Amino acid sequence: MVVVTGQGKASATPDDAMSSSDAEDDFQEPATPTATQAGQALPLLPQQFPEVVPLNVGGMFFTTRLSTLRRYEDTMLAAMFSGRHYIPTDAEGRYFIDRDGTYFGDILNFLRSGDLPPRERVRSVYKEAQYYSIGPLLDNLEDIQPLKGEKVRQAFLGLMPYYKDHLERIIEIAKLRAMQRKARFAKLKVCVFKEEMPITPYECPHFNSLRFERSESEAKLFEHHCEVDVSFGPWEAVADVYDLLHCIVSDLAARGIAADHQCIGVCDKHLVNHYYCKRPIYEFKITWW
C-alpha cells in the first residue's frame, strides 16, 4: 500500500489566489475625515442665543428679549432665532440682520405689546411685516387707514378692465412725447366714461339705455373708439368719473409722476341718426421735472 502524506496548508500562487495586499485593500477601514470634511458632513450644532439679544439691523442697533423675537412661531424672526439657522454677528457681537432698520422698532413694539405705528408709517411698516411674515401685524394694519381705504379702492379698480395697462400706456406715451419734443411736460387725451350708452340731451332716447337689455344689432350701432390716447370705461359702480380720475392721478403720483387734468369737451363722434358720442375727454398734462 502506498501512503501519500498531504501537506497541512497549500501555498497560494499569484494566479489562483488573492494577494494579502489586495485583501487589505478590500477590507480597508474608511480614512479619518479631515476637519474640513467633518465640517461639511456633520450638521452644525444648534446656535445658542442669550435671553437678552443685541441686534444690528442694517446698521441700527436694538436690544430685546429672545422671547419677544419668538412670540409668533410662524414668523421669519422666530425661525431665525430658533437655533436652527446660523445668524452672523458684527464686530461687537450683535446679531446682524441685513435689512433696513428704519421701521424695525415698530416691528419690535408690536411684538412686545401689540402697539401699532402712527398712520404716516403704516404703509412702510406693512412692507416690513410682509418681509418678516408677521401675520397678526399684517391683519391689524389692514384694518386701519390708509390700508383699509386702499382695499376699498382696489375693489373699485377691480371692476375697471385693463386699468393697470392703461396707466402704463399713459406713462409711456407721455415719456415718448416729452423726449421727442425735448420738453418738460407732455399732453395726451384720455377718455373716462362710466356708461357705455352715449348721451344726446337734445334727443329723446331712441334706444334702450344701460338699465335695459339692448339687442345685438342696437349695440353694434354704438360700437366705436374715441379718438384719444387712452380710454377708461365703462364700469358699473357707485363711484363716478371723478373718482376714477382721482385714482389715476394718485397712482401716477405714487410713482413720482406729477399729473394735472382738465375736461376739454366730449368725443362728439357721429354714430347713427341724430346720435353722437358724448363721452367726456380730458387733457392730461404730465410734468417730468
User: What CATH number did the domain enclosing 58 receive?
Assistant: 3.30.710.10
Asked whether 92 and 85 are in contact (CB, 8 A), the reply is no
pLDDT at residue 61 tops 80: yes
276 lies in a domain?
yes
What's the rounded Cα separation, in Å, for the pair 140 and 65?
A: 23
What's the rounded Cα separation, in Å, for the pair 128 and 109?
A: 13
CA 117, 120, 126, 132 torsion-angle sign: negative
* Same-domain status, 119 and 175: no
Average pLDDT, the chain: 82
- pTM of the entire predicted model: 0.65
What's the rounded Cα separation, in Å, for the pair 155 and 146?
A: 14
Contacts of 6 (CB under 8 A, 6+ apart): none
What's the rounded Cα separation, in Å, for the pair 249 and 232?
A: 13
pLDDT digits (tens, 9 = 90+) for 195-248: 765 555 444 444 444 444 555 555 555 567 789 999 998 888 889 999 999 999
How far from 235 is each of 73, 193, 210, 230, 278, CA to CA, in Å? Answer: 44, 8, 11, 16, 16
Q: In this predicted structure, what is the pLDDT of residue 55?
A: 98
pLDDT at residue 144 tops 50: yes
DSSP character at residue 29: P
257 lies in a domain?
yes
How far from 106 is each of 94, 113, 126, 129, CA to CA, in Å? Answer: 19, 11, 10, 10
Torsion of CA 88, 93, 99, 103, to 10 degrees: 150
Asked whether 107 and 116 are in contact (CB, 8 A), the reply is no
* Same-domain status, 163 and 280: yes
Q: At what angle do helices 135-142 and 147-157 cross, to 10 degrees?
A: 70
From the number of C-beta atoms within 10 Å of its C-beta (0-12, 13-18, 19+), residue 43 rates as exposed
* Same-domain status, 106 and 176: no
107 lies in a domain?
yes
* 266 bridge partner residues: 280
183 lies in a domain?
yes
Q: In this predicted structure, what is the pLDDT of residue 273?
A: 72
pLDDT digits (tens, 9 = 90+) for 161-191: 899 999 999 999 999 999 999 999 999 999 9
Q: In this predicted structure, what is the pLDDT of residue 286?
A: 96
39 lies in a domain?
no
Residue 114: left if φ>0, alpha if ψ -120 to 50, beta else—which one? left
The domain in which residue 100 lies consists of 52-144
SS3 220: helix
Q: Which of 122, 104, 106 is nearest to 114 (CA)?
A: 106
SS3 282: strand
152 lies in a domain?
no
38 lies in a domain?
no
What's the rounded Cα separation, in Å, for the pair 279 and 197?
A: 9
* Same-domain status, 187 and 235: yes
Beta-carbon count within 10 A of 231 CB: 20
Residue 286 sits at φ, ψ, to 5 deg, of -100, 120
3 lies in a domain?
no
